[in-house]
């Protein structure tokens, strides 16, 4: 008789997303790539919140999760003390879970409190707690209520972090009761899956990205050809429908299939291999640019725990800007930059340095203006002495994204995207591949690493140089884009 495999809470959640992913995770784990820096950062943020949550239960008992069997046996002993337990572990009938906080209620009941670093309740959280409740019920515990403890996105740090204000509780008992129906059947199905010698065959679908991007996505999607329909502008749902019909490329899309105007442009460009150019619309855009031109880009980082006075969880903290200034048609660009040094609040120095470099007239060219405008607005709210100045900048800011988002220019190399990372190489032939830091998330996480004292002085100097090069390319690249647009409409 085949021995049943242990199904943990994390594996159960994996199984809800994809049976193939679940099987591979247990049977051929080497096929699964290690978490990238972004995913690892998310895990680390969750751990920080988990530790902070424990402070709200001063008489709680922390049970080590390092020793699997020890965790289970300690839990059994500590249940008798009727105190809040952190990481209480239960294994019953080949299912296992740990509870972030198991809190005593009334005489013989318990509350389950799941701690998350999110700002609201996601459907996956309900499934998470339902598995814990099922496991506890099997153990014979009486569960009264279920709660999700998560970030209060209205909390603004004043001095020291107040865990009771940063974290808030949402009762999810009703939702858990509703979704727990059928859980044993799902568990039995998953147990059968992981015990099978054959890996399930699963068609690609929404589950590849929901609730998280699957680590097997590259493997499962590698049958798709170059220029496939998943590169369609805002067409993911339509792409899945096309794949089901055996339509993989733009070339194969029937002429009678209804596409949006932008999707139609994209299809025509894919077939012709040539860019789409609306010269008059581009000319109108270029006329909005007034010299001197200030090409501006910000880099920011965020933290689940508000790092400074006046900040919220996940608020973007500006730590770097690049500014290329072009005085007239024939002028050589002047470059200015700011990169925060030290672990203190960089915002005051950031905005003061920016004000010093931005003149009183001329267009400020950015790529995706909503980002820079939001940063400036929040800076002005915290430093009201800059309020009038920031308000005056709004009329000067020009969004270079506009002609590309409107498809007034579109090149098939953009693959349905109007981001600068796609537009710059498509239009100018220059990309970010030669840089050690080549995207905003990497820049953000690298700066956070500097703050955590992970590097030597020599390494920090090198990293700061890489940050400067990356941010400078964003603004210099905008100059090249504008110059190319000028050439196209002459």
- Delimit the domains of the chain by residue range: 7-195, 224-273, 281-489
pLDDT at 343 (0 to 100): 87
Count Cβ atoms within 10 A of the Cβ of residue 292 and give its class: 0-12 exposed, 13-18 middle, 19 or more buried. middle
Q: Is there a contact between 435 and 306 (Cβ–Cβ < 8 Å)?
A: no
pLDDT at 95 (0 to 100): 96
- What percent of the chain is modeled with pLDDT above 90? 93
- Give CA separation, 186 vs 9, 10, 20, in Å: 12, 14, 15
Its pTM stands at 0.92
Q: Write the CB contacts of 226 (distance below 8 Å, at least 6 apart in sequence).
A: none
Q: Is there a contact between 375 and 315 (Cβ–Cβ < 8 Å)?
A: no
Q: Are the folds of 7-195 and 281-489 the same?
A: no
For 32, the 3-state DSSP assignment is coil
pLDDT at 330 (0 to 100): 86
CATH class of the region 7-195: alpha beta
pLDDT at 3 (0 to 100): 60
At CA 28, angle to CA 22 and CA 34, rounded to 5?
80
For 168, the 3-state DSSP assignment is strand
pLDDT at 1 (0 to 100): 41
Q: Residue 252 is encoded by which pair of tokens?
A: 């194969």
pLDDT < 50 regions, the chain? 1
pLDDT at 58 (0 to 100): 93
d(CA 112, CA 101) in angstroms, rounded, equals 6
Q: How many CB atoms lie within 10 A of CB 155?
A: 19
Alpha helices in 305-415 (DSSP H): 347-357, 369-382, 387-394, 402-405
pLDDT at 342 (0 to 100): 85
Q: Is there a contact between 378 and 347 (Cβ–Cβ < 8 Å)?
A: no
Count Cβ atoms within 10 A of the Cβ of residue 105 and give its class: 0-12 exposed, 13-18 middle, 19 or more buried. middle
- Looking up tokens 């591979």 gives 24
Q: Would you say the C-alpha torsion 406, 361, 299, 428 has a positive or negative sign? A: positive
What is the architecture, at CATH level 2, of domain 281-489?
Answer: 2-Layer Sandwich (3.30)
């Amino acid at each position: 008789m085949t021995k049943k495999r242990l199904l943990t809470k994390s594996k159960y959640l994996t199984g809800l997303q994809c049976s193939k992913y679940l099987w591979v995770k247990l049977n051929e784990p080497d096929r699964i790539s290690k978490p990238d820096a972004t995913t690892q950062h998310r895990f680390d943020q969750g751990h920080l919140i988990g530790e902070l949550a424990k402070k709200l239960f001063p008489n709680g008992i922390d049970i080590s999760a390092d020793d699997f069997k020890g965790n289970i046996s300690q839990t059994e002993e500590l249940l008798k003390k009727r105190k809040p337990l952190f990481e209480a572990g239960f294994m019953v009938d080949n299912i296992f879970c740990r509870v972030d906080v198991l809190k005593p209620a009334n005489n013989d009941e318990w509350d389950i409190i799941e701690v998350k670093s999110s700002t609201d309740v996601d459907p996956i959280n309900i499934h998470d707690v339902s598995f814990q409740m099922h496991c506890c019920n099997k153990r014979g515990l009486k569960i009264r209520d279920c709660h999700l403890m998560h970030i209060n996105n209205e909390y603004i740090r004043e001095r020291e972090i107040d865990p009771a204000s940063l974290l808030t509780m949402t009762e999810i008992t009703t939702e858990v009761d509703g979704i727990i129906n059928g859980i044993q059947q799902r568990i039995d199905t998953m147990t059968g899956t992981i015990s099978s010698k054959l890996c399930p065959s699963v068609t690609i679908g929404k589950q590849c990205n929901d609730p998280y991007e699957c680590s097997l996505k590259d493997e499962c999607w590698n049958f798709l050809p170059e220029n496939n329909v998943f590169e369609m502008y805002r067409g993911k749902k339509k792409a899945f429908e096309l794949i089901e019909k055996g339509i993989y490329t733009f070339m194969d899309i029937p002429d009678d299939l209804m596409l949006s105007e932008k999707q139609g442009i994209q299809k025509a460009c894919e077939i012709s291999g040539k860019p789409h150019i609306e010269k008059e619309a581009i000319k109108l855009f270029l006329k909005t640019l007034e010299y001197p031109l200030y090409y501006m880009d910000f880099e920011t980082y965020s933290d689940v725990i508000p790092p400074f006075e006046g900040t919220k969880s996940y608020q973007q903290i500006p730590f770097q800007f690049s500014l290329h200034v072009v005085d007239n048609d024939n002028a050589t660009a002047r470059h200015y930059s700011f990169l925060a040094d030290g672990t203190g609040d960089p915002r005051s120095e950031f905005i003061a340095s920016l004000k010093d470099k931005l003149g009183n007239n001329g267009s400020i060219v950015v790529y995706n203006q909503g980002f820079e405008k939001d940063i400036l607005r929040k800076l002005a709210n915290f430093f009201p002495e800059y309020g009038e100045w920031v308000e005056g900048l709004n009329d000067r800011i020009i969004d270079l994204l506009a002609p590309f988002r409107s498809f007034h220019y579109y090149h098939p190399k953009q693959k349905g995207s109007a981001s600068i990372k796609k537009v710059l190489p498509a239009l100018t032939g220059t990309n970010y591949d030669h840089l050690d830091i080549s995207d905003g998330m990497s820049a953000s996480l690298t700066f956070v690493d500097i703050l955590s004292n992970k590097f030597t002085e020599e390494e920090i100097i090198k990293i700061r140089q890489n940050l400067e090069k990356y941010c400078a390319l964003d603004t210099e690249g905008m100059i090249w884009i504008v110059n190319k647009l000028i050439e196209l409409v002459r």
